Amino acid sequence: MQLARKVPGKDEFDETLRYFENQLSTHKVEIKTGAAASVQMIIDENFEEIIIATGVAPRQIELDGIDHAKTATYPQILSGERTCGDNVAIIGAGGIGFDVADFLSALESDDRTPEAFLNDWGVDQGLEVKGGISPHGPSLEQSARQITLLQRTSGKPGRSLGFTTGWAVIKALKRRGVSILTGVTYERISDEGLHIEMEGKKTIIPADTIVICAGQESRTSLHEELSMAGVSTHIIGGAAKAGELDALRAISQGYNLALSL
Ligand SMILES: Cc1cc2nc3c(=O)[nH]c(=O)nc-3n(C[C@H](O)[C@H](O)[C@H](O)COP(=O)(O)OP(=O)(O)OC[C@H]3O[C@@H](n4cnc5c(N)ncnc54)[C@H](O)[C@@H]3O)c2cc1C
């Protein structure tokens, strides 16, 4: 959630975090941070029930040059641990790939007022123009970065985005100048950038940063180590199923499990 809340428009996650912070404090739940839970630590504490909610880790891909200094993971970019140059390639156009494109192309003038929203989308506020579309149309302000979002499969991009909101995300990115390429085969990463093949033609995206958004994998090592040590646990959230971005599923699994204990 700390990563999700950095994405423009997903700052409502702040409210979820604020809610849980208050609830945990009200119910005097002890929180220990800054240390990874280990098998020994858990055994020593002699807990009656153990719930593993260790989430996901970014999927690593095999690609010639993947260890190049140009490559970065999405947590490195969203957390601010790494910054991007002016020319960015994003490998993977799933939900997180789009979120990273949105985050990196966000305009300097990121005004979040309703007036700015209407101006941005070219909505006539005077209610005088037919169709409600202002004569100057939507804003064409471009991102300062050249961003290319790439997808391996051909066909329509953004199929994993929300049914009612995905089209708006794609439109906004295109307006800011983000290119979305589909049916791409990744060949290698070099000092020149990302080498790809598309429609039978080889080309290079001259990126100075290549962000890998190639999915996620459940972080299950603690669960497996505890099972091997004969300690039984419950596993929920991303640790149980990496799948799509789904905080609702993780939270509901947590509630239902807690109710059943
Ligand atoms: C960029 C981005 C955008 C997203 N957007 C959305 C969205 O729009 N809608 C939506 O529903 N979901 C979204 N999500 C997904 C949502 O954040 C996750 O589904 C949800 O956080 C999963 O919760 P979780 O508890 O399973 O795991 P996480 O929230 O990942 O939490 C796992 C925690 O366990 C910790 N941990 C791991 N191993 C150990 C260990 N050994 N000891 C101690 N701690 C450990 C990790 O550090 C982490 O803090 C987004 C995620 C990202 C990254």
pLDDT single digits (tens) 149-189? 999 999 889 888 888 989 999 999 999 999 999 999 999 99
The confidence score (pLDDT) of residue 222 equals: 96
The confidence score (pLDDT) of residue 55 equals: 96
Tokens 């499990």 belong to residue? 257
Q: Is pTM, for the whole model, over 0.85?
A: yes
How far does the centroid of ligand 1 lie from the alpha carbon of residue 3, in Å?
Answer: 8
Tell how far CA 21 is from the center of its chain.
23
**215 Cβ inside 6 Å of ligand 1:** no
The confidence score (pLDDT) of residue 117 equals: 86
Q: Whose CA is nearest to atom 34 of ligand 1?
A: 54
Residue 205 scores a pLDDT above 80 = yes
Q: Whose CA is nearest to atom 13 of ligand 1?
A: 245
**4 Cβ inside 6 Å of ligand 1:** yes
Residue 254 scores a pLDDT above 80 = yes
SS (H, E, C) 172-219: HHHHCCCEEECCEEEEEEECCEEEEEECCEEEEECCCEEEECCCEEEC
Among 54, 231, 253, which residue has the most ligand 1 atoms within 8 Å of its CB, making it the best to mutate?
54
Q: Which amino acid is residue 70, in one-letter code?
A: K
Once rounded to an integer, what is the mean pLDDT over residues 9-23? 94
Once rounded to an integer, what is the mean pLDDT over residues 61-77? 97
- Domains along the sequence of the chain with CATH: 58-216 (3.50.50.60)
